[in-house]
Structure 1
Amino acid sequence: MSDGPRYTHGHEPATLASHGVRTAATSAAYLLPHLRPGLDVLDVGCGPGTITLDLAELVAPGRVIGVENVEAPLVVAREEAVRRGDSATRFERADVLELPYDDDSFDVVHAHQVLQHLTDPVTALREMARVCRPDGWVAARDADYAAMAWHPRLPGLDLWRETYRAVAHGNGAEPDAGRRMREWANAAGLADVRITSSVWTYADQASAQWWGTSQAARCSGPVFAAQAAELGVGEDGLAEIAGAWRAWGSEPDAWFVVLHGELLARPGGWAQDS
């Protein structure tokens, strides 16, 4: 991510814990068929590193680097690497709008839930393409908040989405990034653009309880609370949102779907074999 805009979620423990359950299987399945041992991978916006380290296992002995623009998630990622016994994967500070790597340095440049938080996702994709080898892959997956759906309908969750989207737009970001992946790829001049979609589904007791509880904690954190307050959503509104998340997670009929747009493309100028 770039140093410029505020990160809507913040890097608080509740957010990092939520991100830490993500795996390559649940969050990068569209990319996995294109991986093989020996590829060099850059994971942009790596967060707590769980996806990065999964990718590293798949491409070993290839070089893998995860980058973030702040130190807090990198500390967690390095701890996770130690826990897994991975001493090869590196986690470094870097800005996606000005990556500190030479042209054509990686076979895969991947970003999960990153473009939605940037004020200039097109420039980010161009920079990702710059450091990607001509026959490599630029890969990105982002959620689409306006397309999220849930049952049962609770007013507090409507308030949550309205508030979140307003906060993100106030930060110059695009919470409905999933639907814009093709547009951004075309604007960035990427080649062989392939657009797919996939969902996260929370529709059993354990996953619904976890999703509701984790979202309640994230919405109650000081970073999101401060941004919501700037829009006039104070303590009472945030309490309503957190309560709605917990109530939804306890519903026996709870169902929530997070739609994602997925992008797989070659750097510009790459010509597909005929």
Structure 2
Amino acid sequence: MCTFAKEAVYTHGHSEAVLRSHSSRTATSSAAYLLPYLKPDMTILDVGCGPGTISADLATYVPQGHITAMEYVADVLETARACASARGVRNISFSVGDAQALPFPDASFDVVHAHQVLQHVADPVQALREMRRVTRPGGLVAVRSIDFRATSWCPESPAMDCWLALYLRVARGNGGTPDSGRRLHAWAREAGFDAARVQCSASTWCYHTPEERAWLGGVWAERTLHSDFASSATKNGFAAQDDLQQVSRMWKAWAADEDGWLTMVHGEVICWV
């Protein structure tokens, strides 16, 4: 039985650099494992939609259906609304809610989707129970989450080692589970899903071209200094400002290295209800 903190703080926050990073996500890059199961008339709940790029993409896969994009911070939904409007997506609505207490009746959706959510909530098993509750019989819950501990890079870098150790400390200090990707299948069983009806997979984000390195190194260099991650690191005594400056410089140096390579691993589960 897992135990969790009563409350969790979202490690990244919603700074401009974070939203810029998250806005790069698409259904293809972040929900490819789910796409083969979508049908044109399905109703989808996207839990923790952030800036809404994945939600707007998913809406195009259900042109006769509907998607509800939910986020716990109302301000972020304005960004998601703007994204949908700019793309001309109309079969979408927006809702404020808590993943651990979803504001919807039982059996409301054909599909419940959550990308990079369970690593940040205080009780991921309870969140999965709620996702199961609001899914119709025969529907599915699809969850993807990173395993930060499995992140790998080249060249070898003590500074990168320090960044990862710091990130893990900050995320855990905020009540999160930064290696959640490897735990999804166990959490799904604990949440009441039939193990025989849980499909597991894994996928990666890989960055190695000059353009990819410049983008990733740039956003992390900025996020290290100007995000809730930075605030949590200093407030909780995990790092001083000079330490964060060093990490930020490390990201820029990695981005400039023609041998630079970084891979982030994600766990995925599709759970049939």
Gapped runs of 5+ residues in structure 2?
1-5
Residue-by-residue CA offset, 1:143-178 (whole Å, 9 max, x unaligned): 001100001122222121111111111111100001
Equivalent pair of 2:18/2:227 in contact (CA under 8 Å): no
Q: Where in structure 2 are the equivalents of 1:35-184 lying within 5 Å?
A: 35-184=38-187
Q: In the superposition, relative to structure 1, how do residues 222 and 39 fare at CA in structure 2: closer, same or farther (>3 Å)?
A: closer
Q: Which aligned pairs between 1:206-221 and structure 2 lie closer than 5 A?
A: 206-221=211-226
Alignment-derived partner of residue 271 in structure 2: 265
> 8 Å contact 1:11–1:72 — kept in the other structure?
no
Q: Contact between 2:14 and 2:227, CA under 8 Å: does it hold in 1? A: no
- What whole-Å deviation, never above 9, does each CA across 1:194-237 have from its counterpart, x for those lacking one? 11000000011111111111111111114222211122411110
Q: Taking structure 2 as the reference length, what is the TM-score of the superposition?
A: 0.95
Corresponding residue for 2:201?
A: 196
Alignment-derived partner of residue 272 in structure 1: none
Q: Does the 8 Å contact 1:12/1:221 carry over to 2?
A: yes
Contact map agreement 1:143 1:261 (CA 8 A) in 2: yes
Asked whether the equivalents of residues 24 and 51 of structure 1 are also in contact (C-alpha less than 8 Å), the reply is yes
AA in 1 matched with 2:147:
D
Separation in 1, partners of 2:149, 2:38: 31
2-structure distance, mates of 1:256, 1:53? 28
- Alignment deviations for residues 35-62 of structure 1 (CA, whole Å, 9 cap, x no partner): 0100000000000000001000001121
**Change in 2 beyond 3 A, CA 1:220/1:146:** same
Q: Check whether the contact 1:19–1:48 (CA below 8 A) recurs between aligned residues.
A: yes
Query: In angstroms, what is the RMSD of aligned CA positions?
Result: 1.2
Structure 1: gaps (5+ residues): 268-274
Q: What percent of counterpart residues are identical? A: 46
CA contact (8 A) 2:223 2:230 kept: no
Across the two proteins, how many residue pairs are aligned to each other?
A: 265
The answer to whether residue 250 in structure 2 is matched with residue 247 in structure 1 is: no
Contact 2:65–2:91, Cα closer than 8 Å, also in 1: no
Is the CA contact (8 Å cut-off) linking 1:141 and 1:178 kept in structure 2? Answer: yes
Q: Amino acid of the residue matched to residue 54 of structure 2? A: I
Confirm or deny: 8 A CA contact 1:193 1:266 kept in the other structure: yes
* Equivalent residue, structure 1, for 2:3: none
Question: Equivalents in 2 of 1:198, 1:255: separation in Å?
Answer: 16
Distance 1:222 1:58, change over 3 A: closer
Amino acid at match of 1:137: L
Structure 1 SS opposite 2:136:
strand
Are the equivalent residues in 1 in contact too, given 2:70–2:94 (CA < 8 A)? yes
The Cα of 1:99 is off from its aligned counterpart by 0.9
Q: Does the 8 Å contact 2:170/2:238 carry over to 1?
A: no
Letter in 1 for 2:255: G
4+ residue segments displaced more than 3 Å = none
